[in-house]
Amino acid sequence: ISEDHFGSFEELYREHPLLKYCIENLPEHARQVMNTEIFAPFFNKFNSFLSSDSGRTWEVMFWSLKDPWQQFMGHHPLHLACALGLVTTIEWLLKNNISTETRNGYRDTVIEVATSTGREEIVDMVCMLGNADVNAIQRLGGTALHTAAFYGYSEIVRYLLFVGADSSVVDHEECRPLERAAEAGSNSVISIFLGHGDSLERASGSWTAAHAAGFAGRHETLEFLHTHHFDWTSRSRGMT
């Protein structure tokens, strides 16, 4: 995305500092779309919103924290502050008893948003100050542990297990966090689950780590599973 396409970034940022935070503090997994055709419409739409009367009103409300339940795109400030990594704002909101169980427009709780950033300090803050439910079911049927496993956030996986996350929960596709780690090719995360006592074996017909890795083309993970004596005769949905 070039400045020639949108005009001067710095001029835009001076007028709308919140937009600068949104762009410069995106989690890595979200940043992957920044140079694609997906991001340009978002940039234009968000800039247009901030330039409108309602956008300016919302921006003032957010920065002053006068209305912690504003509903821009279904996100109140605690979700947004976690997504942008605004640690001071997160701490202020939690100390003022803003609930971590409120769900955004995607039906996710704050622990899911915090986990997606990949920053353990934010997850810790939400859990310790906000007493977040680490086993809250999110929009896709899984928990924050599924998200951490899929993105390969080893330290967050360890932390969530330490504070009581249940690694046996299955999501809408009957996958545990371990299978999501295999799907993503995160061998280090699979090792964490095995060390935690989880098994590669599952009930007959269940989607296994090998099925997940094979379906996603994760050859190194399949080799990793082989070294851990995976039972290659296991069937899922009729397939070995």
pLDDT digits (tens, 9 = 90+) for 182-214: 999 999 999 999 999 998 888 656 788 988 999
Q: Which amino acid is at 198?
A: D
Burial class (CB in 10 A: 0-12, 13-18, 19+), 153: buried
Q: Over 60: is that where the pLDDT of 101 sits?
A: yes
Q: Over 70: is that where the pLDDT of 35 sits?
A: no
* 30 or 178, greater pLDDT: 178
Q: Over 60: is that where the pLDDT of 4 sits?
A: no
* 54 or 179, greater pLDDT: 179
Q: pLDDT value at position 88?
A: 84
- From CA 105, how far away is CA 107, in angstroms rounded? 5
Q: pLDDT value at position 3?
A: 42
Mean pLDDT of the chain: 79
Q: pLDDT value at position 146?
A: 97
- From CA 20, how far away is CA 18, in angstroms rounded? 5
